[in-house]
Amino acid sequence: MFSKIHHVAIICSNYEKSKYFYNMVLCLPIIHEVYRVSRDSFKLDLAVK
């Protein structure tokens, strides 16, 4: 049994669709968003209420 979870990483094929789903549909607020040049990808941190 878990008492808490530090973070969960989800890899997606369409960043904008995934961002919309988690932020607008599930209503998880954005904490931080950054584009990582070295990985040519975005990293999005969301809060869980």
pTM for this one?
A: 0.81
Query: What distance in Å separates the CA atoms of residue 14 and residue 41, rounded to the nearest whole number?
Result: 11
Which residue in the block uniquely carries the two structure tokens 């809060």?
47
How high is the pLDDT of residue 14?
96
49 band by pLDDT with thresholds 50, 70 and 90: confident
Query: What are the residues whose beta carbons fall under 8 Å from the beta carbon of 1, sequence distance 6 or more?
Result: none
Instruction: Tell me: pLDDT of 23 over 80.
Output: yes
Q: List pLDDT tens digits, range 6-18.
A: 889 999 999 999 9
Question: In 3D, which of 13, 15, 2, 14 has the Cα closest to residue 30?
Answer: 15
Identify the structural domains of the chain with CATH numbers, from first to last: 1-49 (3.10.180.10)
